[in-house]
Structure 1
Amino acid sequence: MVQPEQPTPGQRVERLRRVAGLSRERLAGLAGLSPTTVKFIENGRRALTLRAAQQLAPHLGVRDLADLFGPTVTLSLDGRPSHPAVDEVRRALTAWHVTLAGEPESTEYLRGAVDSAWQTWHTSRHQRTEAGAVLPGLIDSTQRAARLHTGEARRVSLALLAQAYHLAQAYLAWHGDRELCWLTVDRGMAAALDADDPLAIAQSIWYAAHLLRAVGRGDEALERLREVRGLIEPRVADGGTEYAEMLADLHLCAALTRARTGDQGAWSEWDAARQVVQRALPEGFVGLRTRVSRPLVDVYAVMCAVDLGDPDEAQRRAHALDPMSIPSTERRSRHYVELARSADLESAPEATLHLLGRAETTSPETVRYSPAAQDMLVRLTKEAPASVRAEAVALARRAGVVE
């Protein structure tokens, strides 16, 4: 007797959503996912991950995840590809200095070290390897300075320590333990608050918001961003470019957070960032650590359009943006990944593969560790037309996605 074919996890999600009387947009908003993600899960173009299942289950009336995955599906506990330096960074983050001796590095030296590390992050093709090499020493030096300095030098050291933790979060985001990411967020926030530095506090909120959004707590992220904008906005007029740069970045973070939940209000946040950059920052301005600039604002427009599931708008926004104008190798590679996602939305595998190839040429480590790039590459190795499948397999092998 022929056994009936089991529904896929995506088909199970769609059936349960319809039974619950929810639109994709409504379910996505409740679960903290984008409508595009829910659509792709349902039609099989994106795998149902354990995290997504946990976010969807309460809103579909599911108490046992077997109702989503089915009896024949096994769940792998393998994590994302891990970078070789993660263990050393972890040791630096959990090496508490009970006793300290000697003289701390000067704040001028530490500022130069932090700025150099961020410059490396934005200019290297292998930013994760190079950041992983300097992070343990940077964390150690800034921790020591924050403990040993006094007065104003201690406040400055604490703000720089927060920056070291922010770089650690950027490094760990795609391949570290989630607990380590939360540790860097909490440590960075504590250092910024102790420094009593509005810019340091706002930067810490910015990094915290990205992690809150990633775990489905977008409403909390938006609330924290609104709160800290009240700290920064009154200082923009007299505080110099750093405050305008920070305000623009807070609006961009809010725009992306709204877009990830299908909220068209993303465009008002994006436009607020655009206006700050145009009115309050000089022509050609590029933030040292944030890379806030006119091109970066355009990059966010493409990202928002993709996350809102509008490939036509994404391509329109991208048409006038020269990727070489993006003042960060890492962000430029991520831009190509976003364009690949846009092509993927339109079921254009050749274009998707071409753009992922451009991303890999720009920064191999961005493709190797980007969950979105990995997901597209896995599907291309199975679904790309025969004429380009060998190319897809070769790229997936270089990226470590397949053996």
Structure 2
Amino acid sequence: MVDQPLSPGQRVERLRRAAGLSRERLASVSGLSPTTVKFIENGRRSLTLRAAQQLAPHLGVHDLGDLFGPAVSLSLDGRASHPAVDDVRRALTAWHITISGEPERPEYLRGAVDSAWQTWHTSRHQRTEAGAVLPGLLDATQRAARLHTGQDRRISLALLAQAYHLAQAYLAWHGDRELCWLTVDRGMTAALDADDPLAIAQATWYGAHLLRAVGRGDEALERLGEARALIEPHVADGGTEWAEMLADLHLCLALTRARTGDQGAWADWDTARQVVERALPAGYVGLRTRVSRPLVDVYAVMCAVDLGDPDEAQRRAHALDPASIPSTERRGRHFVELARSADLEGAREATLHLLVRAEATSPETVRYSPAAQDMAARLAREAPASVRAEAVELAQRITSPPQ
């Protein structure tokens, strides 16, 4: 009798046990939730490339074929998948060693940065449009930070940090980890040089997302705690931007805890909810962060999904009108999260329906989301015959090379 080859989940379990790790410990160091690790091991969830990349260093794996099987050989180095990545990379590594001329005024740069973020949140093709403006925005803000002096330089540095944050948002799903780290480091350096607490807290928020993504959730929580201590003393008298930042930090804390299976995520989520409800005007929407009452509800769904509780995710989503989410990109991601919740329950028709809605909302959010790509690929193989053709078409649309 021929032995059946081990599934990827069985390989993960065998390597985890050989390394002497509990599921909870492996989840903590890899940035996944214990529920996700459990579902991968027992076959309820497929092992995605992204999850494999997060798990591999902690399982002693250097060739992803050790996880997927001997017929698969995958590099741990991601490849850029969006056509504008090369242009953004060149802008990030243009150091302006020699620089002259007149810099743009801070007022102009603020308008340009705000416009870029507005485009990110309102366009259905946010990555393509951001990729078109980022090289010029990075160049203008880098020049201004070098050429201005005094208060104008501090303002320019804070705006440069925002340009780096937008570059990180653009690059996050394109597999170029080194560029993501570069934007995080440059953004924090610019914020610290600006000596602006709000800019520093925002840079910490972005840094925490990357730390969490590479399995350094404990560090992310520490850094977020430091940023919270920096912001909290100013909230009572500092105006809406301080309260907005504090709420955003607590939302990031909540999601970071949820990704490691920590039910304490709900305490941070509730703190964010209270800050938004008590310290921000009704209908308030942060220009760059999109902090608002609907965004707090979006995070509740995300936390429930990452905690492996699809019933709670659906309960939280029931009262949330997707049309109220003040960002096309966030709305698309919300539908992806709902699809993940349906996927946890094995509801394949519902998963497909929600992915189609996500694609209709924001095609690029689905095309570049590792979770959406994984679900679509599995649906193309496993969906019931009645909807398999639609699943195959969806998978082909979101995996075909970008034009």
Aligned amino acid, residue 208 of structure 1: G
TM-score (ref. length: structure 2): 0.94
| Matched ranges for 1:320-399 at <5 A | 320-399=319-398
Question: Partner of 1:51 in structure 2?
Answer: 53
Residues 1:239 and 2:238 aligned together: yes
Distance 1:97 1:30 in 2: 38
Aligned amino acid, residue 74 of structure 1: S
Structure 2 unaligned runs (5+)? Answer: none
| Cα offset, 1:30, TM superposition | 4.0
Distance 1:192 1:31 in 2: 28
Q: Structure 2 vs 1, CA of residues 149 and 402 (structure 1 numbering), >3 Å: closer, same or farther?
A: closer
| Cα offset, 1:90, TM superposition | 0.4
Distance 1:64 1:363 in 2: 34
> Which range is displaced more, 240-249 or 76-85?
76-85
Aligned amino acid, residue 207 of structure 1: Y
Distance 1:298 1:48 in 2: 27
Residues 1:271 and 2:273 aligned together: no
The answer to whether the 8 Å contact 2:29/2:217 transfers is: no
Q: Structure 2 vs 1, CA of residues 402 and 259 (structure 1 numbering), >3 Å: closer, same or farther?
A: same
Distance 1:29 1:190 in 2: 28
| 1:281-339 alpha-carbon deviations (Å, 9 max, x no partner) | 01000000000000000000000000000000000000000000000000000000000
Distance 1:77 1:386 in 2: 35
Distance 1:176 1:12 in 2: 24
Q: Structure 2 vs 1, CA of residues 311 and 96 (structure 1 numbering), >3 Å: closer, same or farther?
A: same
| 1:204-256 alpha-carbon deviations (Å, 9 max, x no partner) | 00000000000000000000000111110000011100000000000000100
The answer to whether the 8 Å contact 1:378/1:402 transfers is: no
| 1:64-83 alpha-carbon deviations (Å, 9 max, x no partner) | 97764554443356846611
Question: Partner of 1:33 in structure 2?
Answer: 32
The answer to whether the 8 Å contact 1:53/1:65 transfers is: no
| Matched ranges for 1:4-403 at <5 A | 4-17=3-16, 23-44=22-43, 45-47=45-47, 49=49, 50-57=52-59, 68-75=67-74, 79=78, 82-400=81-399
Q: Structure 2 vs 1, CA of residues 179 and 340 (structure 1 numbering), >3 Å: closer, same or farther?
A: same
The answer to whether the 8 Å contact 1:349/1:380 transfers is: yes
The answer to whether the 8 Å contact 1:315/1:342 transfers is: yes
Find the residue that maps to 2:59 and give its secondary structure: helix
Q: Aligned pairs, how many?
A: 399
Identity in percent: 81
Aligned amino acid, residue 51 of structure 1: Q
TM-score (ref. length: structure 1): 0.94
Q: Structure 2 vs 1, CA of residues 85 and 299 (structure 1 numbering), >3 Å: closer, same or farther?
A: same
| Cα offset, 1:181, TM superposition | 0.4
The answer to whether the 8 Å contact 2:30/2:214 transfers is: no
Find the residue that maps to 1:224 and give its secondary structure: helix
Aligned amino acid, residue 165 of structure 2: H
Q: Structure 2 vs 1, CA of residues 69 and 332 (structure 1 numbering), >3 Å: closer, same or farther?
A: closer
Distance 1:141 1:22 in 2: 49
Find the residue that maps to 1:321 and give its secondary structure: coil
Q: Structure 2 vs 1, CA of residues 112 and 354 (structure 1 numbering), >3 Å: closer, same or farther?
A: same
Q: Structure 2 vs 1, CA of residues 187 and 26 (structure 1 numbering), >3 Å: closer, same or farther?
A: closer
The answer to whether the 8 Å contact 1:86/1:176 transfers is: no
Distance 1:70 1:115 in 2: 47
| Cα offset, 1:28, TM superposition | 1.6
The answer to whether the 8 Å contact 2:26/2:55 transfers is: no
| 1:15-60 alpha-carbon deviations (Å, 9 max, x no partner) | 45467776533432243321232123213322264413324416xx
Distance 2:262 2:149 in 1: 46
Distance 2:400 2:58 in 1: 26
Structure 1 unaligned runs (5+)? Answer: none
Distance 1:65 1:89 in 2: 29
Distance 2:76 2:20 in 1: 32
